[in-house]
Structure 1
Amino acid sequence: MTTLPSLAATRPAALGITGDPTALQYAFDETCSVLVGWQRRDGVLRMLSPTAAVVGGVAGLRPGDKLRLVIYRDDVVVRDCRVTRTTLQGVELVHAAPGTPALQ
């Protein structure tokens, strides 16, 4: 018998996303990419909502960095994003319209 918790027990109950708490949140564990300049970094999409996302497995990003999030689902979706903060769950992103300043 093992004393390890189940996979469901290790997932956080609520992702600490800053912003509108009433926004719908969808949990994922699928491959995505982050484009920073000309560099592509692969990561894991942990959470996606209409206004925010959490990406795990991408290091070296700081709050205020602008990037493009590439989601590989039925169709490839590319979204302009800005890093709001980093947590143990991953990098928290907020969707930004093209041409918006990095720091608001």
Structure 2
Amino acid sequence: MNKTLVISLFTLAGLLGAPLAWASPELARSKNCMACHAVDKKLVGPSYKDVAAKYANDKDAVAKLAKKIREGGVGSFGQIPMPANPQVSEAEARTLAAWVMAQK
């Protein structure tokens, strides 16, 4: 692909609000998500695979998880609270949530 086409595709994806799920491992590390979570094993919080399995049949999973990423929560996976992460933008939270849901 030429450079102009690649830039155009990224611009279009941004305008449509499409999450770029392949970028999420790096985004998760940069937002300190990986301090408490891993893809395939429980750390402080549940693995991303466990989260994806729990929400697999929930059509609103991405929206719910994006909200939890930004606002925090407790009770979904026990009593250890997930702190709020306000430095994550709404778009980043949606990207992260979509990536988590792809971890099956």
TM-score normalised to the size of structure 1?
0.32
More strand by share: 1
Q: Which has the higher contact order (CA 8 A, sep 6+)?
A: 2
TM-score normalised to the size of structure 2?
0.32
